[in-house]
Amino acid sequence: MADKKVDLYSLKLPEDLRKLSYEQCDDLCRQIRSVLIKTVSKNGGHLASNLGTVELTVALHRVFSSPEDRIVWDVGHQAYTHKILTGRLDRFGTLRKEGGISGFCRPDESEHDAFISGHSSNSISAALGIAYAKKLSGDKHHAIAVLGDGAMTGGMSYEGLNNAGKSDTNMIVILNYNEMSISRNVGGMAKYLSQMRTKSSYKKTKTAVEKVLDVTPVLGQPVKKVVKSSKEAVKNMILHSTMFEELGFEFIGPLDGHNIEELETGLRTAKELHKPVFVHVNTTKGKGYAPAEANPGEFHGVGSFEIATGNPDVVCQDSFSSVMGKELCRLARADKRICAVTAAMKYGTGLQYFAKSFPDRFFDVGIRSEDAVTFCGGLAAEGMIPVFAVYSTFLQRSYDQLIHDLAIGGLHAVICVDRAGIVGSDGETHQGIFDISFLTAVPDVVIYSPSNYGELKICLKKAVLEQKGIAVVRYPRGRDVSSNSADIVAWEHIHAQNGGRTLIMSYGRVADNVEKAAALLEEKGIVCDTLKLVKVFPLSDKVKKIVNSYDRVYFFEEAYRCGSLSEKLAAVCPAVKSFAIDGFVSHGEPAQLLDELGLSAEKIAEKVEGLVNDET
């Protein structure tokens, strides 16, 4: 087989990988890259990071035997090649499409996906659990965590490293170092890793130094004395001089992440050591696709694009994120207390404008949502007004910090919850459906949920300048597609009174669907009033009074059922029936998913028609 032209589609994978020559492997990697570029250009997804790990993945599957050896991919931004090599090549064209394969690792999709991925920095902890379980059952196979330098800077990675290094397990941590996390890496660890990257002579150096120290006692008198007394200390420092060795790992690397032979040699050594090993691999993000190599940041997570140029199919437009970012700049110009904080999502949250205009007051703390909230607490304690912009799903990490470091002290901070509600193709690990439940479970929080750009600006100003304590402004991913995007709106809630005995209500993006549903119902002769909440929590007496004046109230909500606002309102207003989201929501197009969840205008109208007919 080693002399034949290799064809990705005719191989039995991953088994056949081991039969290939290095030359055939390189050819295979080219074919894989072509599949990656073709698919992501159509479906969107994570490109640059996946192009960087093609050789690493091939080498991993040649050296280790999945699924007996368990590979845990952190975040999953780099696991597409793993999917292609483990039985999902034929379906790879369905990537991120509803019913198709997920953009992240999912154990229910394949036995080769050892653990769920989506949120950063969990891979070492999970792999260590797997490694201990194997040890307890006498299984000699390996647990392997693969993570990028971005994930490595998160606190959970550090917690995992601390426990893994001293463990007596077959645990391997592979750092995929590409000098680039989602945004630019931040902080001391990033700097440290960057130094490591360039230490290609590290292993050699170590040996050399050992030799030097062995001969130093023969040095001349003045130096000899000093060295003798400190020799052991110095030796210890040099021999355990990488942070990872200090944590108990055997260190291998840095390896060239695009040289399969070098990778295999390193990984085989790691495998044979049968103890915790840390492998440092240098990769180039976007490798093999010129537009992505040139702009890895832009090709991290992308929509569909033209392959030849790399140009996106859709021209950049305003979004809730960018409108927030620009409005915050306007406010910050007039008030020097306003600071902006992001956890490695400067562009995603629209804070690039703020970063440019007010670099002193802009803080990117890295992929560290926990730290970000407590850091806001520190700023607030000294009278600044911190605004932390974060995706709903990632704010889940900060629940304790919101309670402990902001709420107890009554500190004023604004949390801009971006990507609230259904986000679409990124699937269940990324849907922002829990923020209402866990934010309302923090005492004294106020939540605004604007449904269009105009309301967003008003809510942001109110939250920043007038509110006390934790003020939340939450808005969906993407653009304002509401039919009513007037700049000035009734402040607290709009009440369309048509004289019906039935009220349909919602907030945020779904409020627009409620309006449309009422129009559809009117066509059928069913008159319903509608209510949109903008300041959604705490539920005001005014809202309760309005609601209590109706016979039937149907509250449709783009949020998880338990802890939802409709549940809270139903608890005090018996006429209210809650229609919220029942559980995890898989990947797909947002509009399609909303429809399936019963939250499109058509489905709302249908549901209300049925309910009204049942009751009359």
Q: What part of residues 367-386 is at the interface with its own copies (CB under 8 A)?
A: 368, 370-371, 374-384, 386
Q: What part of residues 221-250 is at the interface with its own copies (CB under 8 A)?
A: 223, 226-227, 229-230, 233-234, 236-238, 241, 243, 246-248
Contact flag: residue 486 with its own copies (CB under 8 A): no
Residue type, 21: S
Contact flag: residue 21 with its own copies (CB under 8 A): no
Element (H, E) at 277: strand 277-282
* 46, 134, 493, 516: residue in contact with its own copies (rule CB under 8 A): 134
Please say whether the beta carbons of 148 and 176 come within 8 A.
Answer: yes
The count of other CB atoms within 10 Å of the CB of residue 475 is: 31
Q: Which two tokens stand for residue 367?
A: 């992929």
Conformational region of residue 427, where left means phi above 0, alpha means psi within -120 to 50, and beta covers everything else: left
Would you say 122 or 178 has its CB closer to its own copies?
Answer: 122
Q: What part of residues 66-85 is at the interface with its own copies (CB under 8 A)?
A: 70, 72
CA distances from 501 to 340, 498, 553, 615 (A): 45, 9, 9, 12
Would you say 324 or 585 has its CB closer to its own copies?
Answer: 585
End-to-end CA separation in angstroms for the chain = 75
Contact flag: residue 446 with its own copies (CB under 8 A): no
Q: What part of residues 520-539 is at the interface with its own copies (CB under 8 A)?
A: none
Window of 9-17, 307-315, 392-400, 500-508 that interacts with its own copies by CB under 8 A: 392-400
Residue with tokens 């016979």: 551
* 1, 2, 219, 294: residue in contact with its own copies (rule CB under 8 A): 219
CB of 272 to its own copies, least distance (A): 22
SS (H, E, C) 34-74: HHHHHHHHHHCEECHHHHHCHHHHHHHHHHCCCCCCEEEEC
| Selection from 485, 516, 489, 518 nearest residue 502 by Cα | 518
Q: What part of residues 402-431 is at the interface with its own copies (CB under 8 A)?
A: 403-405, 407-409, 428-429
Instruction: Say how far apart CA 82 and CA 68 lie, in whole Å.
Output: 15
Contact flag: residue 211 with its own copies (CB under 8 A): yes
CB of 402 to its own copies, least distance (A): 9
Contact flag: residue 334 with its own copies (CB under 8 A): no
312: which DSSP letter?
B
| Selection from 277, 237, 310, 340 nearest residue 142 by Cα | 277
CB of 98 to its own copies, least distance (A): 18
Would you say 155 or 297 has its CB closer to its own copies?
Answer: 155
**Count of residues in contact with its own copies, rule CB under 8 A:** 127
Contact flag: residue 448 with its own copies (CB under 8 A): no
CB of 367 to its own copies, least distance (A): 9
| The residue count for the chain | 616
Q: What part of residues 576-615 is at the interface with its own copies (CB under 8 A)?
A: 576, 578, 583-584
Contact flag: residue 169 with its own copies (CB under 8 A): no
Contact flag: residue 570 with its own copies (CB under 8 A): yes
Helix (H, G, I), strand (E, B) or coil at 413: strand
CA angle 9, 261, 70 (to 5 degrees): 65
CB of 358 to its own copies, least distance (A): 10
